[in-house]
């Protein structure tokens, strides 16, 4: 099928950051075939009139735990470690595949409605997340969580290996599989080395939490005499493509190592603030050439998966912390939410910008709303003014997951109902335990 998006204001997010007014996109075979003018008599099987709409690359949520939508508004206003160990872990210990399936479906529904076309996820029962990904039409980089608790390290490792071997490249190529060691503090050096070797064998990447809290850094310095970043570099983990979530408490030397090893730093401003973990030095990382992408983290430490909110905060937080109004400008933030996310996942040749030959992962935003007027600067409008609710249409591989605000691939009512039922079931079980 040949589709035509016509009369759009296009933000390409290509190397030149081109902005094309009243322009067109031709899609065929799931890919972008043409950007710009088309003949007046051009024939398309489907035409989307994007007058007064912005066409841009689909957003990439580079770090989340999407089934944790079940824990939204459950454990709020708590310090990081009590939140994690006293509230979240006891409930997670009771998870079943059914819980994860409906939690993932609820989260993916929210992703689609907010313009995310690709997400990078780390969690348990990842086969269920993969099933939701396949059914919904979204793109994903999925990592089965690896950790050493209660002597379950080998069990988690087998699950991660099987998950990779069963799901890599599935769902018409929309699923990529990484290995997901939770963190250096929940994985031993030998376990991390084994993880690295398994990932290297399969020529895939690693998704890990890194330098998220002051305590993590202090414990690493006390135990190993080096920072978490230095520790992972020294054991060879960065030899694989690595997407490192948070990178809040990183020194200048740490940043140099991240750049040297081409580690993608996944910034999560809402989660970092809500859990009082601090502010990632995004400007310093960008200036040194580190690839910084954006994520929301899970809905238990963010309460939504709204990447427009993360863009807004990513720009404002750094201006305030650095006391510099020019810090982390809007064009940089837009790239963090799109092409930088693609680079962090090793997908920059496929998605992340609107260019001929890339997959047609495209979103449309309806600008016929007061907060877009006057329409001085479309990039600024995306970062500082746009809302997730402005997303009207979402395409992945050229297929409509949402069109004119109507989600095509997920039953809204059923998903919200079952998601809430699963969440309440978990909480009841946890309180009885």
**Contact yes or no for 58/117 (Cβ under 8 A):** yes
What pLDDT score does 41 carry?
85
Q: Which CATH number fits domain 2-57+358-407: 3.40.50.300, 2.30.40.10, 3.40.640.10, 2.60.40.10?
A: 2.30.40.10
Residue 122's contacts (CB-CB under 8 Å, 6 or more residues apart) are: 63, 65, 143, 144, 145, 180, 182, 207
Q: For the chain, what are the domain ranges?
A: 2-57+358-407, 59-344
Taking CA atoms, 374 is separated from 23, 364, 367, 381, 382, in Å, by: 20, 19, 10, 10, 13
Q: Where are the alpha helices (DSSP H) in 48-172?
A: 80-82, 89-92, 97-113, 126-136, 153-167
| Rounded distance between C-alpha atoms, residue 189 and residue 425, angstroms | 37
Q: ∠ CA(66), CA(68), CA(73), 5° rounding?
A: 130
Dihedral angle sign, alpha carbons of residues 296, 297, 298, 301: negative
Cα within 13 Å of Cα(236), Cβ side:
12
| Rounded distance between C-alpha atoms, residue 82 and residue 248, angstroms | 19
Give the CA radius of gyration of the chain: 21
Asked if the domains 2-57+358-407 and 59-344 are classified in one and the same CATH topology, the answer is no
What pLDDT score does 430 carry?
85
Helix (H, G, I), strand (E, B) or coil at 239: helix
Taking CA atoms, 388 is separated from 58, 109, 130, 194, 309, in Å, by: 12, 13, 24, 40, 8
DSSP characters for 251-282?
-HHHHHHHHHTTPEEEE-HHHHHHTT-----H
Please state the CATH superfamily assignment of the domain spanning residues 59-344 in this structure.
Answer: Metal-dependent hydrolases (3.20.20.140)
Token pair recorded at residue 221: 């310095």
Q: For residue 202, which phi and psi values (nearest 5 degrees)?
A: -95, 5
Token pair recorded at residue 390: 């402005």
269: left (phi over 0), alpha (psi -120 to 50) or beta: alpha
**Contact yes or no for 341/61 (Cβ under 8 A):** yes
DSSP-derived letter for residue 359 is B
Q: What is the pLDDT along the chain (433 residues), one digit of tens a residue?
A: 999 999 999 999 999 999 999 999 999 999 999 999 998 889 999 999 999 999 999 999 999 999 999 999 999 999 888 988 898 988 999 999 999 999 999 999 999 999 999 999 999 999 999 999 999 999 999 999 999 988 999 999 999 999 999 999 999 999 999 999 999 999 999 999 999 999 999 999 999 999 999 999 999 999 999 999 999 999 999 999 999 999 999 999 999 999 999 999 999 999 999 999 999 999 999 999 999 999 999 999 999 999 999 999 999 999 999 999 999 999 999 999 999 999 999 999 999 999 999 999 999 999 999 999 999 999 999 999 999 999 999 999 999 999 999 999 999 999 999 999 999 999 999 888 7
Token pair recorded at residue 162: 């099987």
3-state secondary structure string, 368-410?
CCHHHCCCCCHHHHHHHHCCHHHEEEEEECCEEEEECCEECCC
Helix (H, G, I), strand (E, B) or coil at 55: strand
Helix (H, G, I), strand (E, B) or coil at 211: coil
């Amino acid at each position: 099928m040949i589709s035509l998006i016509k009369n759009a204001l296009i933000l390409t997010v290509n190397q030149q950051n081109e902005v094309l007014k009243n322009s067109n996109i031709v899609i065929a075979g799931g890919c972008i075939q043409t950007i710009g003018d088309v003949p007046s008599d051009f024939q398309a099987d489907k035409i989307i009139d994007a007058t007064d709409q912005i066409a841009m690359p689909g957003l990439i949520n580079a770090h989340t735990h999407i089934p944790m939508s079940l824990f939204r508004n459950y454990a709020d206003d708590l310090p990081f470690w009590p939140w994690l160990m006293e509230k979240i872990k006891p409930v997670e210990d009771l998870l079943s595949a059914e819980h994860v399936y409906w939690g993932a479906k609820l989260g993916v529904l929210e992703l689609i409605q907010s313009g995310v076309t690709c997400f990078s996820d780390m969690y348990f029962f990842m086969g269920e997340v993969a099933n939701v990904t396949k059914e919904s039409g979204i793109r994903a980089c999925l990592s089965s969580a690896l950790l050493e608790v209660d002597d379950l390290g080998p069990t988690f490792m087998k699950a991660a290996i099987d998950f990779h071997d069963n799901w890599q490249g599935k769902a018409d190529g929309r699923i990529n599989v990484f290995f997901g060691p939770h963190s250096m503090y929940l994985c031993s050096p030998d376990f991390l080395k084994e993880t690295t070797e398994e990932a290297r064998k399969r020529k895939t990447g690693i998704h890990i939490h890194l330098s998220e809290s002051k305590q993590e850094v202090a414990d690493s310095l006390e135990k190993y005499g080096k920072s978490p970043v230095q520790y992972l570099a020294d054991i060879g983990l960065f030899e694989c493509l690595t997407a490192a979530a948070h990178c809040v408490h990183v020194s200048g030397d740490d940043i140099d190592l991240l750049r040297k090893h081409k580690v993608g730093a996944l910034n999560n401003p809402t989660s970092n603030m809500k859990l009082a973990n601090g502010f990632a030095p995004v400007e310093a990382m960008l200036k040194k050439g580190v690839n910084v992408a954006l994520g929301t983290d899970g809905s238990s430490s963010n309460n939504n998966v709204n990447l427009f909110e993360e863009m807004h905060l990513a720009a404002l937080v750094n201006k305030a912390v650095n006391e510099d109004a020019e810090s982390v400008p809007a064009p940089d933030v837009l790239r963090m939410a799109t092409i930088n996310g693609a680079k962090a996942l090793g997908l920059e040749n496929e998605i992340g910008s609107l260019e001929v030959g890339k997959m047609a992962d495209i979103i449309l935003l309806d600008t016929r709303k007061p907060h877009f007027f006057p329409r001085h600067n479309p990039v600024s409008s995306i970062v500082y003014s746009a809302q997730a609710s402005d997303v009207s249409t979402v395409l992945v591989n050229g297929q409509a997951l949402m069109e004119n605000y109507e989600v095509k691939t997920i039953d809204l009512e059923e998903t919200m109902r079952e998601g809430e039922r699963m969440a309440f079931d978990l909480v009841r079980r946890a309180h009885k335990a």
